[in-house]
Amino acid sequence: MMLPLLIVWLMAGGIIAWLIEKVNASLSKWIAFLALAAAFGMTLAWWMQMNTSGGLNVWLMQYDIPWIPDFGIHFHLALDGLSLLMLTLTMFLGLAAVLTSWHEIQYRVGFFYFNILWVLAGITGVFLTMDLFLFYFFWEVMLIPMFFLIIIWGHENRRYAAYKFFIFTQASGLLMLLAIVGLYFVHGIASGTYTFDYFQLLNTHFSPQTGRLLMLGFLAAFIVKLPVVPFHSWLPDAHSEAPTAGSVILAGLLLKTGAYGLIRFVIPLFPAAAAEFAPWGMALGVLGILYGAVLAFAQTDLKRLVAYTSVSHMGFVMLGVFAFNALALQGVVMQMITHGISTGALFILAGSLYERIHTRDINRMGGFWTQVPFMGTIGMVFAMASLGLPGLGNFVAEFLTLLGAWKATHILTILATIGLVAATAYSLRIVQKVFLGRSEQKFTLPDLSFREKMILVPLVVVIVWLGVYPQPVMNTVKEVITLTLNPTDIKPTTPQISDKDIQKGGTHDRK
Amino acid sequence: MKELLWLIPALPLAGALILILAGDKLSRAQAGWVGCGSVGLSAIITLLIGFEFLSSPHPYDQLLWSWMAVEGFHTEFAFHLDALSMVFLFVITFVGTLIHIYSTGFMADDDGFARFFAYLNLFVCAMLILVLADNLLLMYLGWEGVGLCSYLLIGFWYQEEKNGYAARKAFIVTRVGDTSMAIGLFMLFQAFGTLNIQELMTHASQTWQVGAHAAVVIAFLLLGGAVGKSAQLPLQTWLPDAMAGPSPVSALIHAATMVTAGVYLITRTHVIFELAPDAQMAVGIVGAVTLLLAGCSALTQYDLKRVLAYSTISQIGYMFLALGIGAWSAGIFHFMIHAFFKALLFLGAGAVIMLLHHEHDMFKMGGLRKKLPVIYWTFLIGSASLAAIPFVTAGFYSKDQILWLALAGEKGNPVFYAAALGGAFITSVYTFRMVFVTFFGHEHTHVGHDAGRSMTVPLIVLAVLSTIAGFIELPHTFGHVTLFSDFLNPVLPTVALKPELEHLEVLFQAIAAVVALSGVYIAYFFYVKQPDLPTVIKKAVPGLHHIWFTGWGFDALYNTLLVRPFVFLSTLNKNDVVDKVYGGMVTFTQYCNGVLVRTQSGMMRWYVMGIVIGAILMLTLGLML
């Protein structure tokens, strides 16, 4: 019951935030803030509960009622470790997004927070759904408010960016819908029960050719969202034109739905086809790592630069997912979280700078350290996170991914590791261009305000925590990862695996 | 006492955090106390643990917490203390403390006083983690951490564009080496399923035969990491530019500690290198070639600190040479002595440069002997040690050992010996060139007063260490003290001598002594007696001078081969060629739209025409099919 309540809570919060604008515009942001704070508290409480109780079941909570029974469509939500982590991240970054918009958004405030909360509700739905039809529904729910966020509150070129984002996502989403319907009929014809239920569709038997086609449909939606080169070109435009909160949600959360889709659907539903595709998947990942890094290095628009670093970092997700082993998948999950935090923080910094100097052009920046040392320090931390400095979360993610990928492919792992050198080049360029050097133009910048510190300092704390003690996160997802690699074991009532073999270490991959 | 091991890196970390978070609220005196105090306390704890370790020299492991444990892989935040890490701890904390104290004087008027000590403390912490780590991943954390601090400190005066460039260059070039090291870690993990150093070494010696393919590949990859950090060929180019940082930074990071991390890595994993003779030979070759090339470059520099930078590259070359012939403890001994005298020289040079209002060109100095007696005498002692002046300096004992083993050691050969001996001659020439040009002759720049006590005391202490530290390890022809190698013996194997050469040691010591002294005489002849001669020679062979001066053209090579193509490609594709494809789709659609729009012209005759053509086409098709 709690699961649908979470989604309804966010949606209701959005509607109230919109309506209350008529009374007092600044109440809208408070409503949004409180709604998210409560939701964040709830996800944290679930996580605590999971850690203390241990539980007997991989699925911590389930909610399943028929929605359109004639077509086998259920309103089926379920929570496991992976969803839980993603939800916690969603609420955490959602809070950051609301706080960062506090003064930035002055126009149609109520509708803005409505869209923020509905995007987040859509993301929450995506992370919880165990019914493919419902999944597609939430996939679309994410899209439309995001479209509004970009087109109404974006920067100069917002219309172009918003349409581009919409068309890319929608077109690829339609391919997924085709695949979902295809899977529905294939399964229905073979077994006689027509259903969109995830658990029943697992282990559907189909010919390799059908499997390949259906997988490609799902893959299309997810790798456009992730994004994977060469389907990435919506991302730099959308990220750089969106308002700060939009960029944070896009980079921090929407991209992760692509990664989540790969882990939750592509591999368990089509293990054979995915294994067949794996070399190509890893190659695309490495291409993205290198291509994104080279492009990031050349950019002069700060937000565009950060956007291309996302392309590069998401390459690790692709590489790790298709390496098909537990180590790499742990790395991928870490990457989803740490990239959300570090890139979110970089976008927030870019937004704070924009509020102060009204430009995103790094050639006009420089020498800001003298005036804003606090901001500089935080910028340095996240630039280091982005280049994969050990001690920060991103390193754990990238190292585990590479360590796992090494088992699958040597050449590609070496190329991906070389990407770390390119990451050093672009990350240091950010710091140099913005904070170091001498300032050409005489900007006066106040250092971070209390509100901005309240956003950024927790992000720093979390990224350090994930860098030196990531174990709680890893424990939370280890069962999900084991199951993903053995999809025949996924059942609505999967018992938890004894963790002795994992704690002791030393045992090799069970692949 | 050993339980306090974790405090040794934790204290500087705490210092760094205090200075980062509250640096602007502290007065200079307070910030100085936090900075020096935290490292000083670490030094005291090191000393206490060191005494205990001497009485019971057993390795000690301390587990702090589990870092990550996932299926098939687990690693910890855990420290391993043995004789090797003890030596490094001692050098890092003691030389570190002295340099911190010196910095309170050197940086006294700098705006970024607290920031400087924050970075310096963070560096000490990372370096201590590097040498204490019980697994390679934690070592990698320290390894990258010192890289970060090196970057921050080279670019400390961030307003100068060229400092930022030097800092980024250092970070990126060393990261190339780190990449190689990371791949080495992947391979080690795949081979043995762990990254714990002790376990790895045990597994390696049990599993691999000498010359095993995997061992050779892994050793080469680790060597790649080591040459990056230790500024050896072919990744040495960053170190001369790194002199953009404040002098205490050059002393601590780019002479005494961080640049020797490569030496530490190879020594720590010596089992693998001994199983991979080809790689170990490569270590020796890298060392031999580097020490000669860098020595030649040092001969031609004008900037006092650049002479010292090339000298550092060259001296680390000696350490690599020692490791390459399996003379592990000789390499570590030279590391320690080098840390003392090179830190001393950098601090001395820094003091001179500061007192001369940031004049780096030593040909604009001159005659400082009388004005700055303390700096002069300590600098002279450091130089004597660097040039390995026989019997009285520590440098003689550490370098002579390497020279001797390069020939007489089991894996030694005449080529290595010749390189080392030639290098010794060059070292002595450039060292005393520096001394004579800076402190003798005419005074070119006026200087008012000597340095303050916070700067001179560390100089004196280091000068004493640069002399007496040599006496803990004396050749058996001369005193025969083996305190240092005995201390390291439980960790590092000893080197066997070629029996036919054993009795000749005295002869080769005499040769080394003569070579060092003749180098001093050559420098005296060229720069004091005939000071016009170097210019004449320089004019005679301008090409050679240029190539030495620019560090053998490596920078130009890398710029042409790597940097420029990368920047060119990246700039060329700034607007993303992939996006052009999608843009092309849009343009195409719009074009089709334009064409079709034109058909809707509103003119009856076009419509009728269309109908007629359509009808004809359909009829034709109907008839044909």
**CB–CB contact B566 A294 (8 Å):** yes
Q: Is the same domain home to B616 and B532?
A: no
Predicted pLDDT at A56: 60
**Residues making up chain A, counted from first to last:** 511
Q: Is the same domain home to B345 and B425?
A: yes
Predicted pLDDT at A500: 44
Per residue in A23-50, pLDDT (tens digit) is: 888 899 999 999 999 999 999 999 888 8
Do the beta carbons of residue A463 and residue A393 sit within 8 Å? yes
Q: Which residues contact A144 (CB under 8 A, 6 or more apart)?
A: none
**Residues making up chain B, counted from first to last:** 625
Percent of chain A residues topping a pLDDT of 90: 66
> Could you tell me if residue B613 is inside a domain?
yes
Which chain A residue has its CA at the smallest distance from B24's CA?
A373
Burial class (CB in 10 A: 0-12, 13-18, 19+), A181: middle
Q: Is the same domain home to B386 and B438?
A: yes
For an interface test with A, which of B70, B116, B146, B567 has the most A Cβ atoms less than 10 Å from its Cβ?
Answer: B70
Per residue in B429-451, pLDDT (tens digit) is: 999 999 988 888 887 777 767 77
Predicted pLDDT at B508: 86
Q: Tell me: pLDDT of A504 over 70.
A: no
Round the average pLDDT of chain A to a whole number and report it. Answer: 89
CA distance A31 to A11: 12
Domain count, chain A: 1
Which chain A residue has its CA at the smallest distance from B573's CA?
A295
Segment among B115-124, B204-213, B261-270 with least mean pLDDT:
B204-213
Q: Tell me: pLDDT of B391 over 90.
A: no
CA distance A473 to A47: 10
Tokens representing B496 are 């066997």
Predicted pLDDT at B444: 77
CA distances from A446 to A146, A357, B21 (A): 31, 10, 18
pLDDT band per the 50, 70, 90 thresholds, residue A496: low
Q: Which residues contact A500 (CB under 8 A, 6 or more apart)?
A: none
Predicted pLDDT at B46: 93
* Per-residue exposure over B72-91, b if at least 16 CB sit within 10 Å of its own CB, e if not: bbbbbbbbbbbbbbbbbbbb
> Could you tell me if residue B198 is inside a domain?
no
Q: Tell me: pLDDT of A506 over 80.
A: no
Instruction: Please tell me which of the candidates A294, A389, A403 has its beta carbon nearest to residue B73.
Output: A403
Predicted pLDDT at B544: 85
Q: Tell me: pLDDT of B366 over 80.
A: no
Round the average pLDDT of chain B to a whole number and report it. Answer: 89
CA distance A403 to B182: 9
Average pLDDT over residues B53-77: 88
Tokens representing B250 are 């050059």
Percent of chain A residues topping a pLDDT of 70: 96
Of A330, A52, A264, which Cα lies nearest the Cα of B70?
A330
Segment among A280-284, A466-470, B92-96, B556-560 with least mean pLDDT:
B556-560
For an interface test with B, which of A381, A410, A471 has the most B Cβ atoms less than 10 Å from its Cβ?
Answer: A471
Chain A residues 357-376 with CB within 8 Å of chain B: 367, 369-370, 373
Domain count, chain B: 2
SS3 B600: coil
Tokens representing A65 are 């009622």
**CB–CB contact A425 B172 (8 Å):** yes
Do the beta carbons of residue A110 and residue A277 sit within 8 Å? no
Q: Is the same domain home to B321 and B370?
A: yes
Tokens representing B82 are 């043995």
Average pLDDT over residues A428-447: 86
Per residue in B147-160, pLDDT (tens digit) is: 999 999 999 998 88
Average pLDDT over residues B340-362: 88
Q: Is the same domain home to B467 and B613?
A: no
CA distance B281 to B413: 11
Q: Tell me: pLDDT of A175 over 50.
A: yes
Predicted pLDDT at A330: 93
Which chain A residue has its CA at the smallest distance from B181's CA?
A417
> Could you tell me if residue A363 is inside a domain?
yes
The predicted complex's ipTM stands at 0.91
**CB–CB contact A510 B71 (8 Å):** yes
Q: Helices B277-300 & B213-229, crossing angle to 10 degrees?
A: 20
> Could you tell me if residue B150 is inside a domain?
no
> Could you tell me if residue B85 is inside a domain?
no
> Could you tell me if residue B12 is inside a domain?
no
Contacts with B19 from chain A: Cβ below 8 Å: none
Contacts with B6 from chain A: Cβ below 8 Å: none
**CB–CB contact B164 A417 (8 Å):** no
Chain A residues 197-256 with CB within 8 Å of chain B: 229-230, 232-233, 236
Percent of chain B residues topping a pLDDT of 90: 49
Predicted pLDDT at A470: 92
CA distance B596 to B619: 24
Domain boundary residue, one of B520, B540, B560: B540
> Could you tell me if residue B119 is inside a domain?
no
> Could you tell me if residue A510 is inside a domain?
no
Beta strands in A82-230 (DSSP E): none
Instruction: Please tell me which of the candidates A406, A438, A506 has its beta carbon nearest to residue B186.
Output: A406
Q: Is the same domain home to B536 and B588?
A: no
Q: Tell me: pLDDT of B93 over 90.
A: yes
**CB–CB contact B72 A478 (8 Å):** no
Q: Is the same domain home to B437 and B583?
A: no
Domain span including residue B433: 281-540
Instruction: Please tell me which of the candidates B65, B186, B567 has its beta carbon nearest to residue A413.
Output: B186
Q: Are strands A73-79 and A61-68 parallel, antiparallel or unpaired?
A: antiparallel
Predicted pLDDT at A502: 42
Chain B residues 71-90 with CB within 8 Å of chain A: 71-74, 77
> Could you tell me if residue A328 is inside a domain?
yes
> Could you tell me if residue A507 is inside a domain?
no
pLDDT band per the 50, 70, 90 thresholds, residue A503: very low
Q: Helices A326-357 & A373-386, crossing angle to 10 degrees?
A: 150
For an interface test with B, which of A284, A414, A424 has the most B Cβ atoms less than 10 Å from its Cβ?
Answer: A424
> Could you tell me if residue A294 is inside a domain?
yes
**CB–CB contact B70 A478 (8 Å):** yes
Predicted pLDDT at A508: 41
Q: Tell me: pLDDT of A498 over 60.
A: no
Q: Hey, is the C-beta of A499 within 8 angstroms of any chain B C-beta?
A: no
> Could you tell me if residue A502 is inside a domain?
no
Domain boundary residue, one of B494, B518, B540: B540
> Could you tell me if residue B375 is inside a domain?
yes
**CB–CB contact B77 A396 (8 Å):** no
pLDDT band per the 50, 70, 90 thresholds, residue A54: low
> Could you tell me if residue B221 is inside a domain?
no
Chain A residues 275-334 with CB within 8 Å of chain B: 294-295, 297-299, 326-327, 330
Tokens representing B125 are 């912490």
> Could you tell me if residue A499 is inside a domain?
no
CA distance A133 to A181: 9
Q: Tell me: pLDDT of A405 over 60.
A: yes
Terminal Cα-to-Cα distance of chain A (whole angstroms): 36
Do the beta carbons of residue B149 and residue B20 sit within 8 Å? no
pLDDT band per the 50, 70, 90 thresholds, residue A389: very high
Q: Tell me: pLDDT of A337 over 90.
A: yes
Domain span including residue A259: 2-492
Instruction: Please tell me which of the candidates A370, A399, A505 has its beta carbon nearest to residue B72.
Output: A505
Predicted pLDDT at A511: 36
Burial class (CB in 10 A: 0-12, 13-18, 19+), A38: middle
pTM over 0.80: yes
CA distance A355 to A306: 17
pLDDT band per the 50, 70, 90 thresholds, residue B382: very high
Do the beta carbons of residue B300 and residue B545 sit within 8 Å? yes
Chain A residues 130-149 with CB within 8 Å of chain B: none
CA distance A377 to A350: 14
